């Protein structure tokens, strides 16, 4: 398994870290954006990310894995195979024919489901998946995440009964990439200022719009 420092640099070199004035979700701009969807083109990196998530998952009692669609689906699948843990998949929309399911895969009421996510900003996307899992009577109390952007999402999720463990925090990742000469001091400062200014304390802003905003 790659060390955290090696993994951070490999992710950067693979194009998973975008710098600039980037449009993120509706109405938001950010000086840094993580595109962890690129890992599907780099099997060794994907394996290492999954292994780090497995390490976090080891400490958490769970019967099932569920990745937040779509970026975390391949990560959850690799974890499922590596640890022999069954996985379920949440559909973006309920299937309108045949099984009419919102969750694919086999599960039973009250099973403990661990959620897998790529990035947490506000916590909205993860919470949307949690709501679906809970509506199907699954027990959901924990999530493992590749990157917590340090923008308050983890505490929002905690208020909603979800404990988040992440491989990287944005602050920690910036430190690694700065020390590795990948991101200069000035850019680090711009990003840290942005994070301080752009904090989330609840999900009220998303209220009726969870599905739209998570795309
Ligand atoms: O740098 C980023 C930031 C976000 N994403 C995607 O958005 C959601 C997380 O944002 P929330 O506000 O917590 O819903 C997550 O599913 C990511 O796929 C991203 O890819 N990169």
Q: What is the pLDDT of residue 214?
A: 38
Residue nearest to atom 17 of ligand 1 (CA): 119
142's torsion region: left (phi>0), alpha (psi -120 to 50) or beta? beta
Please compute the mean of the pLDDT values over residues 86-94 and round it to a whole number: 88
Confidence band (pLDDT; 50, 70, 90) for 208?
A: low
Q: What is the pLDDT of residue 202?
A: 85
Task: Find out whether 120 and 162 touch, Cβ atoms under 8 Å.
Answer: no
Residue nearest to atom 15 of ligand 1 (CA): 119
What pTM did the predictor assign?
0.94
Nearest atom, ligand 1, residue 32 CA? 1
In SS3 terms, 108-159 reads as CCCCEEEEEEEEECCCHHHHHHHHHHHHCCCECCEEEEEEECCCCHHHHHHH
Statement: residue 215 has pLDDT above 70: no
Statement: residue 213 has pLDDT above 50: no
Confidence band (pLDDT; 50, 70, 90) for 203?
A: confident
Q: What is the pLDDT of residue 26?
A: 63
Statement: residue 127 has pLDDT above 70: yes
Give the tens place of pLDDT for each residue, 113-125.
Answer: 999 999 999 999 9
Average pLDDT, the chain: 93
Interface ipTM: 0.99
In the chain, % helix, strand, coil (3-state, to 5) comes to: 45, 20, 35
* Whole-angstrom distance, CA of residue 209 vs CA of residue 102: 18
* Cα angle 20-21-22, degrees, rounded to a multiple of 5: 100
Nearest atom, ligand 1, residue 153 CA? 13
DSSP for 160-193, written as a single string = TT-EEEEEEEHHHHHHHHHHTTSS-HHHHHHHHH
Q: Probe ligand 1: pick from 33, 37, 69, 125, max atoms within 8 Å of CB?
A: 125
Nearest atom, ligand 1, residue 214 CA? 14
Give the tens place of pLDDT for each residue, 137-193.
Answer: 999 999 999 999 999 999 999 999 999 999 999 999 999 999 999 999 999 999 999
Ligand 1 environment, Cβ below 6 A: 24, 33-34, 68, 71, 118-125, 153, 214
Of residues 27 and 7, more confidence is placed in 7
Rounded to the nearest angstrom, the distance between the alpha carbon of 104 and the centre of ligand 1 is 23
Residues linked to residue 195 through DSSP beta bridges, in sequence order? none
Task: Find out whether 194 and 149 touch, Cβ atoms under 8 Å.
Answer: no
How far from the centroid of its chain's Cα atoms is residue 92's Cα?
A: 16
Statement: residue 204 has pLDDT above 60: yes
Task: Find out whether 87 and 67 touch, Cβ atoms under 8 Å.
Answer: yes
Task: Find out whether 94 and 102 touch, Cβ atoms under 8 Å.
Answer: yes
Q: What is the pLDDT of residue 119?
A: 98
Cα dist from 140 to 51, 106, 111, 118, 176, whole Å = 21, 16, 9, 17, 32
Statement: residue 54 has pLDDT above 50: yes
Confidence band (pLDDT; 50, 70, 90) for 212?
A: very low
Nearest atom, ligand 1, residue 117 CA? 16
Statement: residue 95 has pLDDT above 80: no
Task: Find out whether 176 and 4 touch, Cβ atoms under 8 Å.
Answer: yes
- Which helix (H) or strand (E) segment holds residue 21: the answer is strand 17-23
Rounded to the nearest angstrom, the distance between the alpha carbon of 119 and the centre of ligand 1 is 5
């Amino acid at each position: 398994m790659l060390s955290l420092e090696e993994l951070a640099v490999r992710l950067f070199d693979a194009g998973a870290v975008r710098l600039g004035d980037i449009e993120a979700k509706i109405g938001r701009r950010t000086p840094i954006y993580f595109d962890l969807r690129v890992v599907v083109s780099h099997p060794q990196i994907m394996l290492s990310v999954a292994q780090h998530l497995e390490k976090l998952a080891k400490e958490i009692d769970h019967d099932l894995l569920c990745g937040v669609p779509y970026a975390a689906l391949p990560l959850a699948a690799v974890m499922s195979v590596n640890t022999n843990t069954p996985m379920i998949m949440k559909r973006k929309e309920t299937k309108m024919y045949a099984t009419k399911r919102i969750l694919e895969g086999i599960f039973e009421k009250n099973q403990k489901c661990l959620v897998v996510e790529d990035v947490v900003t506000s916590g909205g996307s993860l919470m949307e998946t949690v709501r679906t899992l809970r509506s199907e009577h699954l027990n959901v109390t924990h999530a493992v995440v590749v990157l917590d952007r340090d923008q308050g999402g983890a505490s929002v999720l905690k208020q909603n009964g979800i404990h988040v463990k992440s491989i990287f925090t944005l602050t920690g990742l910036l430190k690694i990439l700065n020390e590795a000469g990948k991101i200069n001091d000035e850019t680090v400062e711009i990003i840290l200022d942005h994070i301080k200014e752009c904090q989330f304390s609840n999900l009220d802003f998303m209220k009726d719009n969870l599905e739209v905003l998570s795309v």
